[in-house]
Amino acid sequence: MSMIFRQLFEADSSTYTYLIADPNTGEAILLDPVMETVERDLQVLRDMGLTLTATLETHVHADHLTGARRLQNRTQCKIAYPAMVQASCIDIGIREGEPFRVGSIELHPLFTPGHTDHHHSYLIDTPVQKMIFTGDALLIEACGRTDFQSGDAATLYNSIHNKIFSLPDETLIYPAHDYESRFVTTVAQEKARNPRLGGGKSKEEFVTIMENLDLPYPRKIDFAVPGNEQCGSCPDNVPEGLKGSCAYRDQG
């Protein structure tokens, strides 16, 4: 299996968007696209001669607006979300056990709730390496917060151990965010070094850590969640200073 792969970054929300494409068919998807970087992503696709067939989300994000709807307006691509989100704008509902295909490449959805109750990760099993895109479930030496959006720390612990830490140690982990200029990690590294989960920490220890993080209120959650439940619409309640690409109007 041959595959084109690019890791793209949006600085304001520290979000990674992943371009995955089949070089034989030219079909491509963007995983967790961001509204502010739609033009960049379209230029990357043009430069590589690829056709965007779908956008794919790990979950309804709280820290940025997805670029899914705008990308669909520009390219007529499909919008794929975890099926349990049940939004009218979704073209493809993702479920564990039902592979999501781009050309000959298969992404295997893994239900990994805890950060949200609908969160999915995506596993690609190449002949050389397994790659898992963990969204906000497991980050590099961190994990997604569990104090908003139907989050639950004990559920997240189970998801990480049952669906991610059970993979081979050399499996590459690509998260939806990193805030420290890191790009990739492995199952072995997170099992050994993750401050919240590593070193064989028990579920009780993890829950205590998560309950005492004392994190600030997410600055975009009040408009990002309702906007992303509509695949990247701009709600009326976006503050002036955070409007970003909402001020932009698509041409044509």
Q: What is the 3-state secondary structure (H, E, C) of 131-196?
A: EEEEECCEECCEECCCCCCCCCHHHHHHHHHHHHCCCCCCCEEEECECCCCCCCEEHHHHHHHCCC
Q: pLDDT confidence of 252, banded at 50, 70, 90?
A: very low
CA 34 to chain centre: 10
Question: What pLDDT is stored for residue 207 in this prediction?
Answer: 98
Quick one: pLDDT at residue 242?
81
Instruction: Give percent of the chain above pLDDT 70.
Output: 98
Token look-up 């007529």 returns 76
Distance, CA of 76 to CA of 9 (rounded, Å): 23
Confidence of residue 248 (pLDDT cuts 50, 70, 90): low
Query: C-alpha distances in angstroms, 130 versus 126, 173, 186, 217, 241?
Result: 6, 9, 10, 35, 41
Residue 232 has what pLDDT?
96
Nearest to 232 by CA among 81, 115, 41, 116: 81
Q: What is the pLDDT of residue 79?
A: 98
Q: What is the mean pLDDT of residues 90-108?
A: 98
Mean predicted lDDT score pLDDT of the chain? 95
- pLDDT-derived band of residue 249, with 50, 70 and 90 as boundaries? low
pLDDT digits (tens, 9 = 90+) for 152-177: 999 999 999 999 999 999 999 999 99
pLDDT of residue 177: 98
What's the rounded mean pLDDT across residues 38-59?
Answer: 98
Confidence at residue 127, expressed as pLDDT on a 0 to 100 scale: 83
Quickly state the pLDDT bin for 243 (edges 50, 70, 90): confident
Residue 245 banded pLDDT, cuts 50, 70, 90:
confident
pLDDT given for residue 251 in this prediction: 42
Taking 70 as the threshold, does the pLDDT of residue 140 lie above it?
A: yes
| Domain 4-215: homologous superfamily in CATH | Ribonuclease Z/Hydroxyacylglutathione hydrolase-like (3.60.15.10)
Q: CA gyration radius for the chain?
A: 17
The DSSP result for 14-49, as a single string, is TEEEEEEE-TTT-EEEEES-BGGGHHHHHHHHHHHT
Examine the pLDDT at 61 and tell me if it is beyond 70: yes
The verdict on pTM exceeding 0.85 is yes
How does pLDDT run across 190-213, given as a tens digit for each residue? 999 999 999 999 999 999 999 999
Using CA of residue 215, residue 135, residue 28, residue 47, what is the dihedral sign? positive
Model confidence at 250: pLDDT above 80: no
Q: Sign (positive/negative) of CA torsion 49, 51, 54, 55?
A: positive
- Whether the Cβ atoms of residue 237 and residue 221 lie closer than 8 Å to each other: no
- Domain ranges (residues) in the chain: 4-215
Torsion, Cα of 232, 236, 241, 245 (10° steps) = 30
